[in-house]
Every structure is written in C-alpha cells, then in structure tokens.
C-alpha cells in the first residue's frame, strides 16, 4: 500500500518529498501504480491532452467520472485525486458538495481537487465536512484562463504575492490536506511552503515545494500542444510511438509483418478439400 491521506500530510513533517503524476485511463494508472509514485491526479487537463480542447473549461462531470473510474480500477494501491471540473463547484456550496460526492461515489477516488483560494474556503470547508478529502490548487488556476488572459505565472507583484500567501493560509484553514502551487515564482513558493503545515505540491513552483506534480504526457513527451517551461522530459515516448507506427507501415508493405509466429495454422487436408 502506498500513502493514505494522513500519511501524505505526515510526509511533510518527515521531510519526505511527495510525487504525483496525472493519469486518465486504466493502462497508465497501472503503470503508475507499479512505480514508486505516491499519488495520481485525474486532472481536468484531460480536456487538453485527451480530448484536444484548447483549455480545461469544457470538461464535464461526465468526463471526469468516466476517466476517474478507469484510473481507480488500475490504481489498486495508489491514492487517486479527481479534479472538480469548471462550474461543478462555482454555482453554490450545495452543488459543490453534491458534485464532490458524485466524484467519490461514482468512481471510488480518494479525494477531490478544486481551484481557488480565499474565495473557495467555505466550499472546501463544506466538502471536508462531508468527509471528502480536498486538495486545493492556487496560483495559475487554469479554469480562470479567461480572467488571467492566458496561462501566466502568478504572484509576481507585491499585492498578488500577498494574496497568494493569504490564499494558501485560507485553504489550509478550510481543511484542505494539500495544496497545488502552479506557476508560482520559486521564492514565493518557498515562503508559502514554510508558512503551511499541509504539503505544497508544485508544478512550475521550484524544488522548494513539499512535492511535485506533472502531466504524464508532458514528462514522456507525448503531447505536442505546448511545452511549459516547468516541464522536464523523462522519456521520448512520442517519438518512440511515431517510429513504431512507421516501422509497422514498412513491415506491412514489405510483408515482413505478420510473420509465421503471428499467424494461425490449419491442416493441409482441410485446405485440399477446399480446392
Ligand atoms: N499538457 C498539459 N500540461 C499542463 O501542465 C497543463 C495542461 N496540459 N492543461 C491544464 C494546465 C494548463 N497549464 C499550463 C499551460 C501553459 C503554460 C505556459 O505556457 N506557461 C508559460 C508561462 C508564461 C509566463 O507567464 O511567463 C511558460 O513559458 O511556461 C503553463 C501552464 C498547466 N496545465
Ligand atoms: C496540472 C495539474 C495540477 C492539474 O490541475 C491538471 O492536470 O488538471
Ligand atoms: Mg486541473
């Protein structure tokens, strides 16, 4: 068994780094489960990497449930966190609790994640009151892309930096057990990490965070939509896939594939009778 929610929080006191990657289906979830990664995020980034949308705004509860169910089946021993999609927690606190509940009940994920700081504190509190663990997400919150005017680094001026520190404290006070810091300058992420008891999980926030998260297609170089500065390539699977497809085409054309070992036999008697 890998980490539970309390163990995830304790990791910070023990100064053990936390590791998280996204997954959106059964096969990848199994690979993550077999690795030493602590937790899986079924991110609403699936709208971009799996469904080809230009941002995460069109992702629905149905999409999140569909993908999270598959991930949970593959991740027998790994904590699965499901992103709450845009507009599933903004209309009212009641609807937010209801949708968080659906995500857990219909998928058996462990926790939900939602974007926002101070303004979401009461929502986080209500979901935690329903006994659903919540991960918060502040800084570059992609569901605010049209307010921000793009995917931009947050917290660079004094007011924005102070607001982010207040956001972090507010989500901790509201009962979040971890907080994702996305695209936050490293020195600000350090202050936030030191101020909080709960772990900070960084993406584009430096190695000062208590843990890190990356979209798996980014780290394996299998997504060509864009490449944020914070991404490091750990394998070149995209190129490997393209090369494999081209070798397959070549072998089909030259009749190298399928070979004997890929084909089924029949007795010559039967064939003779057919002729
Ligand atoms: N494949 C993928 N990876 C992600 O990390 C990711 C998604 N999709 N979808 C949802 C959000 C969107 N994210 C993004 C997307 C683009 C940038 C980006 O291009 N950032 C600029 C920063 C520009 C600036 O303000 O200086 C960069 O150069 O990194 C950052 C985060 C992070 N999330
Ligand atoms: C980038 C991470 C933190 C996320 O929210 C997602 O994948 O949707
Ligand atoms: Mg997300």
Band of residue 164 on the pLDDT scale cut at 50, 70, 90: very high
Band of residue 150 on the pLDDT scale cut at 50, 70, 90: very high
| pLDDT at residue 224, rounded to an integer | 87
- Is 0.90 topped by the overall pTM? yes
CB atoms within 10 A of CB 144: 14
| pLDDT at residue 2, rounded to an integer | 85
User: At residue 1, does pLDDT exceed 90?
Assistant: no
Shortest-distance Cα residue to atom 18 of ligand 1:
228
What pLDDT digit, counting tens, does each position of 23-61 carry?
Answer: 999 999 999 999 999 999 999 999 999 999 999 999 999
Shortest-distance Cα residue to atom 5 of ligand 2:
43
Both 183 and 250 in a single domain?
no
Band of residue 231 on the pLDDT scale cut at 50, 70, 90: very high
How far, in Å, from the CA of 129 to the mean position of ligand 2?
24
Both 149 and 194 in a single domain?
yes
Across 55-59, 181-185, 226-230, 248-252, least confident range: 226-230
Band of residue 106 on the pLDDT scale cut at 50, 70, 90: very high
ipTM: 0.97
User: At residue 80, does pLDDT exceed 90?
Assistant: yes
- Number of the ligand 1 atom closest to the C-alpha atom of 44: 10
Query: Does residue 182 have an active-site annotation?
Result: yes
> For the residues of 88-145, what is the DSSP string, one character each?
SSSS-HHHHHHHHHHHHHHH--SEEEEEBSGGGHHHHHHHHHTT--EEEEEES-GGGH
Both 54 and 96 in a single domain?
yes
Tokens encoding 15: 């100064």
Residue 117 host element (H or E) = none
Exactly one of 182, 186, 194, 197 is catalytic; which is it? 182
Average pLDDT over residues 199-207: 98
Q: Tell me whether residue 92 is annotated as binding.
A: no
Distance CA 269, CA 75 (A): 50
Distance CA 139, CA 180 (A): 8
- Number of the ligand 2 atom closest to the C-alpha atom of 142: 5
- 215 close to ligand 2 (CB < 6 Angstrom): yes
- 214 close to ligand 1 (CB < 6 Angstrom): no
- 215 close to ligand 1 (CB < 6 Angstrom): yes
Give the 3-state secondary structure of 154-220: CCCCHHHHHHHHHHHHHHHHHCCCEEEEECCCHHHHHHHHHHCCCCEEEECCCCCCCEEEECHHHHC
Q: Tell me whether residue 115 is annotated as binding.
A: yes
Return the SS3 of 46: helix
Both 68 and 158 in a single domain?
yes
Query: Position of tokens 């058996």?
Result: 108
Structural domain boundaries enclosing 250:
241-272
- 188 close to ligand 2 (CB < 6 Angstrom): no
- The closest of 16, 5, 32 to 215, measured between CA atoms, is 32
Domain at 115, CATH number: 3.20.20.60
Query: Position of tokens 């949308």?
Result: 53
Band of residue 229 on the pLDDT scale cut at 50, 70, 90: very high
What pLDDT digit, counting tens, does each position of 208-225 carry?
Answer: 999 999 999 999 999 988
Q: How far is CA 51 from the centre of its chain?
A: 15
Which ligand has the shortest distance to the CA of 228? Answer: 1
Burial bucket for residue 187 (CB in 10 Å: 0-12, 13-18, 19+): exposed
| pLDDT at residue 261, rounded to an integer | 97
- 48 close to ligand 1 (CB < 6 Angstrom): yes
Q: Tell me whether residue 45 is annotated as binding.
A: yes
Angle (CA) 157-158-160 rounded to 5° is: 65
Both 256 and 200 in a single domain?
no
Band of residue 11 on the pLDDT scale cut at 50, 70, 90: very high
Both 120 and 188 in a single domain?
yes
Average pLDDT over the chain, rounded to whole? Answer: 97
Both 11 and 142 in a single domain?
yes
Residue 62's contacts (CB-CB under 8 Å, 6 or more residues apart) are none
| pLDDT at residue 184, rounded to an integer | 98
| pLDDT at residue 182, rounded to an integer | 98
Q: How many domains, the chain?
A: 2
- Number of the ligand 2 atom closest to the C-alpha atom of 215: 7
- 212 close to ligand 1 (CB < 6 Angstrom): no
Beta bridge partners of 220: none
| pLDDT at residue 100, rounded to an integer | 99
Both 249 and 219 in a single domain?
no
Both 159 and 35 in a single domain?
yes
Distance CA 207, CA 138 (A): 17
Both 249 and 215 in a single domain?
no
Shortest-distance Cα residue to atom 19 of ligand 1:
228
How far, in Å, from the CA of 10 to the mean position of ligand 2?
23
């Amino acid at each position: 068994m890998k980490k539970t929610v309390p163990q995830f929080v304790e990791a910070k006191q023990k100064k053990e780094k936390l590791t998280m990657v996204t997954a959106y289906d059964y096969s990848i979830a199994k690979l993550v489960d077999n690795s030493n990664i602590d937790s899986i995020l079924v991110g609403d980034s699936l709208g971009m990497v799996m469904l080809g949308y230009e941002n995460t705004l069109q992702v629905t509860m149905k999409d999140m449930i569909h993908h999270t169910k598959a991930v949970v089946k593959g991740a027998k021993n790994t904590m699965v966190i499901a992103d709450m999609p845009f507009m599933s927690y903004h209309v009212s606190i009641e609807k937010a609790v209801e949708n968080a509940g659906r995500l857990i009940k219909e998928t058996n994920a462990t926790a939900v994640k939602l974007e926002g700081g101070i303004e979401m504190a009461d929502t986080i509190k209500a979901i935690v009151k329903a006994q659903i663990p919540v991960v918060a997400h502040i800084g570059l919150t992609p569901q605010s892309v049209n307010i921000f005017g793009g995917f931009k680094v947050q917290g660079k001026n004094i007011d924005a930096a102070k607001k982010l520190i207040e956001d972090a404290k507010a989500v901790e006070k509201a009962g979040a057990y971890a907080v994702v810091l996305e695209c936050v300058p490293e020195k600000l992420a350090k202050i936030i990490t030191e101020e909080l008891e709960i772990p900070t999980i960084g993406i584009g926030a430096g190695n000062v965070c208590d843990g890190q998260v990356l979209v798996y297609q980014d780290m394996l170089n299998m997504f060509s939509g864009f490449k944020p500065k914070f991404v490091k390539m750990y394998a070149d699977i995209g190129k490997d896939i393209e090369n494999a497809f081209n070798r397959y085409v070549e072998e089909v054309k030259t009749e190298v594939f399928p070979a004997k070992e890929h084909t089924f036999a029949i007795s010559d008697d039967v064939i003779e009778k057919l002729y």
